[in-house]
Structure 1
Amino acid sequence: MTALAIHRKSFFRSSFFQILVIGIISFLGPGLWNANNSLGAGGALEPYLVKIVFALMGLLCISSAILANSIGVKHTLILGTLGWAPYSASLYQNNRYGTEWFVIFAAVICGISAGLYWAAEGAIVLAYPEHQKRGRYLAIWLAFKNSGQIVGGAINLGLNIHRSTGGKISYTTLLTFVILQAVAPAASFLISNPERVQREDGTRVNVEAKTSTWKQVRILWQTVSTPKLGLLLPLFFSDWFYWGYSSTFLTLYFSVRARALGSFLSAITGVIATTILGIFLDSQRWSLRHRAQTAGYFVMSVFTGILVWAMIIQYEYTHKNPGKLDWTSPGFGRGFGLYIMLGTAGNLVQNYLYWIVGSLGDGTQELTRHAGLLRGVESWGQCASFGINSSKFNPFYVVIINLVFWIISLPAAWFTLHQVGTVDLTKRAPSYNESSRTSKNDISSVIEK
């Protein structure tokens, strides 16, 4: 690539455009998928239908860096967008005709593709932007993802506004999701390869050289076994463990239209909260270390408090089942508010953890591993949570398990989190004027110090 080509600015190569595209894909794919499952596994009353997805997603997320090393982040992302529409189509078929085998088959396909998607998407969101804009761009990405849930919730609410009892959502809702999600693979072709991305500050996206598959396996093992990432794995497992409980809580205790409203409002509050957090994480008024620790104390304290509140509410509901609560029901606000707060706090925790793993490394392959580990271990936590819920385990004990996992994971995680900011990686991004030979080895040596 010539110097003239490098410096010829194109909006379609800008890091901002890449985030817009990945946001649109997130809106169409996982955003609408989340809207489905906010109504209880796509509207079916049994949550076990999604645990297959999470099990396979975790495995593929963690190992996806090996594939990305061979075919690149962009092509890994394209493969990762292929499973959303078939899964929603299977939910439509099951909802209308009771064809459950199709759900299981589509869950396998979705789990495999989603594993590739989350790791590649995470690498793009973390590696492509200018380092000092990472928090805001993460917020934009999560806003798009939650906007899918907002639109899905609005569709659900509009189609089911008169249904004040329990049951399944209209199959028309699911058919709408299938059509929208089928657009995601086409949108993924708009993403630029990392070496062609143009940042505003003139720095390049760090792209490591391809290596052998065996070497990638060794690097992955080293990443898992070192304190930098290894001590965060229990936190990754526990931070989305609440989602299985939250989905089941909404399904068990609320009417169809109340569930649709919950999906709609929790996404809006999540967008607002993560936007505020992203602005703070990018603020240059405070050091990287100060931002990492302050935000960490805040989001973890809030999430802990809400889990305690969930234990109190669930204890009441276990001993006196409120039935199917509608917004006209007495006491609706207590349980409904818990669901909104859980969703909002969960988004804050995930936004913060993505920012943390991005601050612990650089380069598309390294950040594919980091994002894959984060989302993969999270997925296994979700799989365990949905597995417990699908076995009719007492919801009160599910909350206790979640709280115990969460609290136990915090001390080990803080050992790593307190190291963030010792070296500010935003000052190590190579510029277009620097020799490309200095990018990888210099940054890697600084990170490990």
Structure 2
Amino acid sequence: MGFEGAEESGGTEVPQSRFRYNSPFVQVSLIGFVCFCCPGMFNALSGMGGGGQVDPTASNNASTALYTTFAVFGILGGGIYNILGPRLTLLSACSTYVLYAGSFLYYNHHKHQAFAIVAGAILGVGAGLLWAGQGAIMTSYPPANRKGTYISIFWSIFNMGGVIGGLIPFVLNYNRSEAASVNDATYIGFMVFMTVGTLLSLAILPPRKVVRDDGSKCTNIQYSSVSTEVVEIAKLFGNWKMLLIIPAAWSSNFFYTYQFNNVNQVMFNLRTRGLNNVFYWGAQMLGSIGIGYIMDFSFKSRRTRGFAGITVISIVSTAIWVGGLVNQLTYSRGDLPEKLDFKDSGSDFAGPFVLYFSFGLLDSMFQSMVYWVIGALANDSETLSRYVGFYKGIQSAGAAVAWQVDTHKVSFLTQLVTNWSLTTVSYPLLVVLVLLAVKDDSKADLEEISKEKEAAPSFAGPASEK
């Protein structure tokens, strides 16, 4: 007896619908909705600048603690995910988001940083586990020739959380003065969504239960061990493929501090920041869909598609950072601009708004491209969970440094030039990685699928959750 909806074809049970509960499409969509509720709402909270507070110091320090622990547990997260499986890993990880939002609700009343900083450190542990698991699911579950499409599906669902999350402070703080922090209802709204996401994580299946439409399984390994994971994670630091990814990983969250604190918070008033974030995260959806198409459909050769995607993003990136430089030359830390309002500022609002929208577009294109490159390096969940964990760990180390750079009042222009330089350095290294490590599709993918089918046990009986 096979899965419901399967039929006998030449002695092999082949799943028939992409909407099966155990299909890659449904599972990637589910992890998208988990991230919609948890990191999606976190992104909306961070995107307001200063965590919604007038003084960003508490948020900067909490973010530093967050990304410091995230750097460690991002790297360890892939191994922990392989040992515990998705449900226990994701359930514990998502609960830390609720605590973090709650710490700012507390800060609204007591103005004590300690709780926010501790909650940030705990969230770093949870985020490391969540993103390592999410990355493994997003890059290993899909068919090898459709990874860009599935990455864009995830990124669109996930960033809809930022869109909805941006509407929460926009609506709830529409008539509040610029001198005020966001109200309690804003933080409570974030906490409700995060709690839903925590419960939804229980719907994620372990990799060995997920079956692609061609009948292949995502992995046949049912258990891992601490010793195995320690050895495999240690090897990553000498893996030349991972070393080439380091500049892209370091830069991919480094620019958030500049964009959120030094553009959105500095240039716009409270209600307009919420509106801006609706469009910032909406732009992420558009960017991920566009780059997903290029990475999967632009050329027959997978390697050529990789080159095309990197080239397009490098051109778009340069244009956006040039626009950022033009905007930045109009103000500085010592000469702050008058706050812009979407209703009252007229044409002065348009340029900075389009720039902030473009930053969101670039973020999703850049990160989706890097995930595609990582996903092209392997097909099995165990390996990719470690690769993604390494990527997220280095990414978070960069972010931890970026938040402290801003806390120490480094000039806005220096931060912009640093961000521009870091992203630019990563492009030629990614080209080298694609050239040397990414195989052209068909033959390599068919061999991989054939091995998975030969090694796969019967689809008849569901294995137990590890």
TM-score (norm 1): 0.91
Q: Which moved more, 1:396-405 or 1:204-213?
A: 204-213
Query: Residue 93 of structure 2: which of 67, 80, 103 is its match?
Result: 80
Report 1:17-36 matches (<5 A).
Answer: 17-36=26-45
Q: Which moved more, 1:403-412 or 1:379-388?
A: 403-412
**Is 2:306 the counterpart of 1:315?**
no
Letter in 2 for 1:390: T
Unaligned runs of 5+ in 2: 7-12, 458-466
Give the drift of 1:111.
Answer: 0.9
Letter in 1 for 2:272: A
* DSSP 3-state at the match of 2:182: coil
Report 1:118-267 matches (<5 A).
Answer: 118-163=131-176, 165-208=178-221, 210-249=223-262, 250-267=264-281
Give the drift of 1:347.
Answer: 1.0
Cα distance in structure 1, aligned partners of 2:86 and 2:183: 37
User: Residue 215 of structure 2 contacts residue 453 of structure 2 at CA under 8 Å; is this kept in 1?
Assistant: no
Give the drift of 1:420.
Answer: 5.0
**Is 2:449 the counterpart of 1:430?**
yes
Give the drift of 1:406.
Answer: 2.6
Query: Residue 40 of structure 1: which of 40, 46, 49 is its match?
Result: 49
User: Residue 287 of structure 1 contacts residue 421 of structure 1 at CA under 8 Å; is this kept in 2?
Assistant: no
Cα distance in structure 1, aligned partners of 2:450 and 2:26: 20
Letter in 2 for 1:310: G
Letter in 1 for 2:302: L
Give the drift of 1:279.
Answer: 2.4
Cα distance in structure 2, aligned partners of 1:313 and 1:433: 52
**Is 2:422 the counterpart of 1:380?**
no
Letter in 2 for 1:333: A
Unaligned runs of 5+ in 1: 439-449
Cα distance in structure 2, aligned partners of 1:16 and 1:34: 24
Letter in 1 for 2:337: P
Provide the residue aligned with 2:426 in structure 1: 409
Letter in 2 for 1:399: L
Query: Residue 271 of structure 1: which of 265, 285, 296 is its match?
Result: 285
Give the drift of 1:223.
Answer: 2.6
Provide the residue aligned with 1:361 in structure 2: 378
Provide the residue aligned with 1:326 in structure 2: 341
Cα distance in structure 1, aligned partners of 2:147 and 2:95: 27
Query: Residue 51 of structure 1: which of 64, 67, 78 is its match?
Result: 64
Residue deviations 1:18-57, cap 9 Å, x none?
A: 0121111011000000000000132023141312111111
Give the drift of 1:388.
Answer: 0.7
Aligned alpha-carbon RMSD (Å): 2.3
Give the drift of 1:404.
Answer: 2.4
Change beyond 3 A, Cα 1:434–1:147 = closer
**Is 2:408 the counterpart of 1:391?**
yes
Cα distance in structure 1, aligned partners of 2:46 and 2:453: 47
Residue deviations 1:213-265, cap 9 Å, x none?
A: 33433322323322222111112101221111001121122101110111101
Letter in 1 for 2:446: K
Cα distance in structure 1, aligned partners of 2:335 and 2:122: 40
**Is 2:25 the counterpart of 1:12?**
no
Provide the residue aligned with 1:444 in structure 2: none
Change beyond 3 A, Cα 1:362–1:316 = same
User: Residue 206 of structure 1 contacts residue 430 of structure 1 at CA under 8 Å; is this kept in 2?
Assistant: no
User: Residue 265 of structure 2 contacts residue 273 of structure 2 at CA under 8 Å; is this kept in 1?
Assistant: yes
Q: Which moved more, 1:365-374 or 1:208-217?
A: 208-217
Change beyond 3 A, Cα 1:423–1:217 = farther
User: Residue 96 of structure 2 contacts residue 123 of structure 2 at CA under 8 Å; is this kept in 1?
Assistant: yes
Query: Residue 355 of structure 2: which of 338, 349, 352 is its match?
Result: 338
Letter in 1 for 2:248: L
Letter in 1 for 2:66: V
* DSSP 3-state at the match of 1:268: helix
Give the drift of 1:185.
Answer: 2.1
Provide the residue aligned with 2:302 in structure 1: 288
Give the drift of 1:4.
Answer: 6.8
Change beyond 3 A, Cα 1:215–1:196 = closer
User: Residue 133 of structure 1 contacts residue 282 of structure 1 at CA under 8 Å; is this kept in 2?
Assistant: yes
* DSSP 3-state at the match of 2:50: coil
User: Residue 313 of structure 2 contacts residue 366 of structure 2 at CA under 8 Å; is this kept in 1?
Assistant: yes
Give the drift of 1:432.
Answer: 9.0
Cα distance in structure 1, aligned partners of 2:429 and 2:35: 31
Give the drift of 1:417.
Answer: 2.5
Give the drift of 1:89.
Answer: 0.8
Change beyond 3 A, Cα 1:284–1:256 = closer
Provide the residue aligned with 1:441 in structure 2: none
Cα distance in structure 1, aligned partners of 2:430 and 2:377: 13
Cα distance in structure 1, aligned partners of 2:449 and 2:87: 21
Change beyond 3 A, Cα 1:164–1:308 = farther
Q: Which moved more, 1:25-34 or 1:94-103?
A: 94-103
Question: In the comparison of the two structures, how many residue pairs are matched?
Answer: 437
* DSSP 3-state at the match of 2:31: helix
Cα distance in structure 1, aligned partners of 2:275 and 2:183: 15
Change beyond 3 A, Cα 1:168–1:66 = same
